[in-house]
Chain A
């Protein structure tokens, strides 16, 4: 038990300094605009995908998932088992529509389709939900800092908030995709090293882990119960978790922002593909650490910390060789900063684009909007800080983030589905669907004993049905309101022109379509993951 030594502190400072130097060297002081653009284009797609993953979830996964695994073994993996399926829907439906529409904020699509009220309401819901979730993301590194220094977590929240806000206002460091990739590998290295150290410290090694895990039912990831009150049944994961992730990755501006800024549809799809393949193994890795930690605690007769989010950081600080602990903790910090930077940026961008420039100052100068966006960043930083003080009471941070989203995002997803698929839906229906969808989620979650994973499903179902039915009570949308969601070439005249041109154009040999191939790959991956879990569970139960 070495604790956080001066060597660790040195490594922490050097690492943060190094990342800051790389950020400023390659991010801000590039000599020409060409460097800015080409810098991004020379980076391979897998690195961009990993960078997206790093900004999305790495720090809170590192902190939250081992707590999940410690408490419930692999049962909560069903929350993520649906991610490949959700990515298929995003790749096939959302990305092409969003890209074709050429929008900066996804809520603009709702204005063109349903009018300003729906855009404003949706953007407001995003601000509230993402602002709250950012509080949880802020809490994660604050907790680590508290574990490392022994200071009160409330003090470290304030310190982290000041750091994160200043960092974002000054321009952030996310310019350098490679730093995100490095952070991702540092965190994975930390996870693998934790497994190695934990397992080698057990007298029976892996056999102790598997025996304890099997005896305590920790490998029972697949619960076929049809009871909706069972939180982590397979059906809750498949049905509820699927809508949760389509909503999370498709209707939250902070998640879809990079997809909108991708140079092409194929690039946008690729960044989603990486998440589709890697999120389940990453979650499995961290949940497994929770199982190993449970074995370790049981064998050593230790009492776990009250806040299970502290489990892995505490283990890293106490058990890792001097220097390595500093590196991994630095990785958590840097990853958390990257997530915070991206969340605060998207909150401020939506505030300026969907509210300030829309309603308050439509024709201000660039400098004015820059100032407004900085003030918005500070405002959302304070808002998130206030919520971060309560985040410790919400259980594992990773679940807290998803639960907050599930209060709002189901209804929001329903509104997007109405916009894209129902050409009869109109503004009245969309607003009615949005309100009743949220109301239904809140009523069901407070009155009935139903797994929270179903919240998004309820929100989607109610908002789509109510939205459609209410739409029938008023006029159908005008053709120009449907221009973003209808394939332009379907008009009969246009079909005749395309048929004539196509008949005279040179033919291309038939090849498997890339998008379809990508989606089939994700579906197979989903089957493989589910099959492996079933095999593990079958083995554990004899």
Chain B
């Protein structure tokens, strides 16, 4: 299996505070979400954009640029949210077909016949405490709100919480 590439975080904490503050969040933390990037381009030409998704996502995220903005280092600070499964090539191509139907000007761009690459997508999680605690997920690349990956993030947080609990139980003194 290909190594998971790390997309470099382009929104620093200061900028993320500003974005999330405008959206009503009162606390924030960095996170990394495991996704898969499928190349998009014209037939026989190098990719010009990427579709980021996972098997359970209804709609994928679009990342423009010929190259993925990767960094050599592994994800640093922040919770790592895994748990999503890789989409198949066919599923990605079908997903892209509907994107093209919805936006006819994209018709000439196709999902290339290359298996999706696993990536870490940097995100910022914003928390808001009110009657209920609410979560806002924004992209660590652009600051856009990523409502579509929220279910993945919530599932990832739940799984991270369970792992911490399991770890705590293991380290409890016995006997």
Contact = CB atoms under 8 A, between A and B. Distances in A.
B48 interface: yes
B104 A260 contact: no
B147 A489 contact: no
Nearest to B139: A264
B70 interface: no
B144 interface: yes
Given A33-B42, A41-B64, A513-B23, A102 B29 contact: no
B127 A488 contact: no
Interface stretch (A57-65, A447-455, A500-508): A500-508
Contacts of A503: 27
Contact of B98 (A33, A99, A104, A507): A104
Interface string A401-419: 0000000000000000000
Contacts of A515: 23-24
A493 interface: yes
Interface in A373-432: 373
Main secondary structure of the interface of B (DSSP, over half): mixed
B107 A171 contact: yes
Contacts of B171: none
Contacts, number: 162
Interface string B36-50: 000011100101110
Given A32-B45, A265-B145, A497-B157, A370 B129 contact: no
Contact of B127 (A32, A99, A505): A505
Interface in A351-380: 352-353, 366, 369-370, 373
Contact of B135 (A498, A500, A504, A516): A498
With most chain B CB atoms within 10 A of its CB, the pick from A172, A504, A505 is A505
Interface string A502-523: 1111111111111110000000
Contacts of B122: none
Main secondary structure of the interface of A (DSSP, over half): helix
A100 B135 CA distance: 13
Contacts of A506: 13, 27-29
Given A34-B66, A36-B109, A494-B154, A489 B29 contact: no
Interface in A244-286: 257, 260-261, 263-267
Given A495-B132, A501-B157, A37 B127 contact: no
Nearest to B103: A261
B48 A501 contact: no
A495 B128 CA distance: 11
Interface in B123-138: 125-127, 129, 132-135
A345 interface: yes
A36 B105 contact: yes
B11 interface: no
A495 B134 CA distance: 8
Q: How large is the interface on A (under 10, 10 to 19, 20 to 34, 35 or more residues)?
A: 35 or more
Contacts of B102: 104, 257, 260-261, 349
Nearest to B53: A102
Nearest to A504: B29
A433 interface: no
Interface string B1-35: 00000000000010001001111111111000000
Contacts of B29: 501, 504-506
A103 B57 CA distance: 11
A514 B66 contact: no
B158 interface: yes
B97 to A, nearest CB: 5
A515 B47 CA distance: 36
A226 interface: no
Interface in B146-164: 146-148, 150-151, 154, 157-158, 161
Contacts of B66: 32, 34
A189 interface: no
9 contacts: A36-B109, A38-B64, A265-B145, A352-B101, A487-B134, A489-B133, A489-B134, A501-B125, A515-B24
Interface of A: 27-28, 32-38, 41, 96, 99-104, 171-172, 174-175, 257, 260-261, 263-267, 345, 349, 352-353, 366, 369-370, 373, 483, 487-490, 493-495, 497-516
